[in-house]
Amino acid sequence: MSQTRQYKAFISYSHGDERWAKWLQRSLERYRLPKSLRAEHPNLPSRLYPIFRDRDELASGSDLSESIQTAMANSEALIVICSPAAAKSRWVNEEVRRFRDAGGGHRIFCLLVAGRPNAEAADCAFPPVLLLDGDGQPINEPLAADVTPGGDGKRNAMLKIAAGLLGVGVDELKRRDAQRQVRLLSAIAAGSLAIAAVTIGLAIFAMIARQESEIRRHQGEKLIGFMLGDLRTKLEPIGKLDVLDAVGDQAMDYFKVLGRHGTPQEMLDRAKALRQIGDVRFNQGHLAPALTAFEQSLEQARVLHEAEPDNNDYLFELGQAEFWVGYVAWQRNELGQAQASMEKYMRYSQELRDRAPDNPGYRMELAYAHSNLGSVARARGDAELALREFRVAAQISESELKSQPGDAARISDLADIWSWINSTLLDLGRLQESEQAALKAADLMRIVHDQGKDARASAKYADYLFLLADIQLQLGQVAAAEDQFESGRNIYKSLLLRDPSNAFWRQSALRGEYHRVSFVDPSAWTPEMRQSLETTAASLQALAQKDPSNKIPQNFMAKVKRLQALGELAQGDVAAALRLAKDARDTIGKLTAGSEATTELRLNAAEIDESLGVITRANGDEAGARRIWAEALAGLTRVPDSNLTAKAVRRMLAIDLGDQALAERLTRELDHAGFKDPRFQPSSRSTQSTQEGEHDARPNQRQS
């Protein structure tokens, strides 16, 4: 370590890299050294504080140049934020030169945030003075911590800089830091968050009650920001978002009191925190409170954007909030609202891309926007439009992955888009192409799943296995489909041990249990299979009651009741079968009422009616059965004729009604498409589609 001076480091950066300078200053000043490391090196400080950044520290200086020189002279080290903008900045180059001339050449550390490190590159990130050693000899590639895609990552990059400032080995600091992180997360998982939540609540309400200073209020918001930001980032991959429940409740109450008060930066941080609260609520299946948080986030972002429309950060946050409002509407089957929000999100994404075409994050926002519009178009039954949107999204995503090979987030994004292409091709009756798309999605996501670092990736991988299994069943590949279902079920069993409160994981796990039974003839069900269906129905009932506005568990519950009804019919209990089938029809009828019913809902309604007719006839009411079948067949005219599941259900209804010509025509069309699904064979009454038009994986979005 060098001699003690006023500042631990001086950050030199160009104006375009201000957000990185802010992040690094905040991260270093907030970082506390592991106690075990200080025990071995008692001369080390407990914190790297303060760090000098000219925007913060020079406001009172009468002479900027003189103030900078004074600050540099009082700094133990120099940190250079390196990017093509910094390389062109005369001031960054001059600050590095002066610090080196003053004898600090061995205490200069670099953080690469954009561009390339090699001197010959057109987008070289290093200022010219850094490309020469103290003797004026060229250095091809100075050493630097790297936060660019494929680099060290933000945490490791910060630790590299910290190790340099402290004069300790990087590996040693990372090892001690990792040990501390493990202990911290274990303590949180064990229940220590209750104390943190109480502390936050007391701090927040004490601040409001006593009207303390702006500094204390800002500290309270920073604490909330940490809990919902940095801590959430650590908890989400291991599946522990339930830990943040109390924090979200306290924060929502606090933000409600504040309203629009605060500086623009505080309002921006508040908008982000509200969005993160909504995300946690959404993942738990609480759509109503999630929407409340998203709408408040949207209001904060809208105020900021209207006041400063040229600010990219405000426009970006406005787009994120608009997406989430639209996504909740999509989950609720409110497709008009979903379309309106997603179109706004598209406009904001296009504007961001146009303003900063070299920003890879903004380019991916445009891919997400195309994919989300595709999802809404597909839900509305326009598969051709949906496929065009997904193809554009895939083209952008593939281009970004080529520039960032091996990046887990980019791989996951591309897999997500291919899963939607798979389902849309299935809607269009292109079965073989759909299988290839499903295989591509699963193969891509398996890369991230096998890394074992992110529970969300494992959940997506299981979802894609379920989608692949459905296509394999339609192709008649029963054994292969069984293997995929079993693999997906096992993944979700493991995930739910980590976070039992995650509603989306629970829904998907229930789907796996349901699929396992769905293509077995009810007369061959084991007692364990019957019990599994009963447990699935009870769990879905609980999810539906948790948030009645969430249509997905209700739709799924109707499908399960239909299957249970066929099971009772196979056992000879016609009365029980009729009761369950009518319950299923009542449930699906509420979801299909109105003009916005999705193709999937209409198909499920037709399947339920087909089974209800079979049971009604078994109960001795032939006329009633024929009336139900005729209405179901008429209802399918609103479903695109290209949909193979729709053809299969029409064929079943044609057979029920004795329309041999229609049944034979549909059989020829299904045979031509390669459709051999055992759930829809004319000899079977246990027909059941596992086609899940409503993916549990979200439409593509940026992870923040």
635-646 pLDDT per residue, tens: 998 888 889 999
* List of residues 6+ apart from 615 with CB closer than 8 A: 565, 566, 569, 574, 577, 578, 581
Residue 598 confidence (pLDDT): 82
312-371 pLDDT per residue, tens: 999 999 999 999 999 999 888 888 999 999 999 999 999 999 999 999 999 999 999 999
In the chain, the largest separation of any two C-alpha atoms, in whole Å, equals: 100
Residue 257 confidence (pLDDT): 52
- Helix axes of 599-618 and 360-379: crossing angle, nearest 10 degrees: 30
Q: Is the dihedral of CA 37, 38, 43, 49 positive or negative?
A: positive
| Rounded Cα–Cα distance for residues 87 and 119 (Å) | 11
| Token pair belonging to 89 | 């900045």
**What stretches in the chain show pLDDT beneath 50?**
1-2, 56-64, 189, 192, 195, 208-224, 226-232, 234-241, 243, 246, 248, 683-704
Residue 231 confidence (pLDDT): 45
DSSP state letter for 6: S
Burial class (CB in 10 A: 0-12, 13-18, 19+), 520: middle
Residue 38 confidence (pLDDT): 84
The answer to whether the CB of 537 falls within 8 A of the CB of 564 is yes
Residue 333 confidence (pLDDT): 82
What is the percentage of the chain residues whose pLDDT exceeds 90? 51
The per-residue DSSP string of 124-162 comes to B-S-GGGGB-TTS-B-SS---EE-STTSS-HHHHHHHHH
Question: Which domains are seen in the chain, by residue range?
Answer: 9-168 (3.40.50.10140), 520-680 (1.25.40)
3-state secondary structure string across 483-511: HHHHHHHHHHHHHHHHCCCCHHHHHHHHH
- Angstrom CA distances, 412 to 104, 116, 239, 417, 464, stand at 44, 25, 17, 9, 11
Residue 456 confidence (pLDDT): 87
3-state secondary structure string across 302-364: HHHHHHCCCCHHHHHHHHHHHHHHHHHHHHCCCHHHHHHHHHHHHHHHHHHHHHCCCCHHHHH
| Rounded Cα–Cα distance for residues 685 and 402 (Å) | 49
Residue 260 confidence (pLDDT): 57
Residue 310 confidence (pLDDT): 93
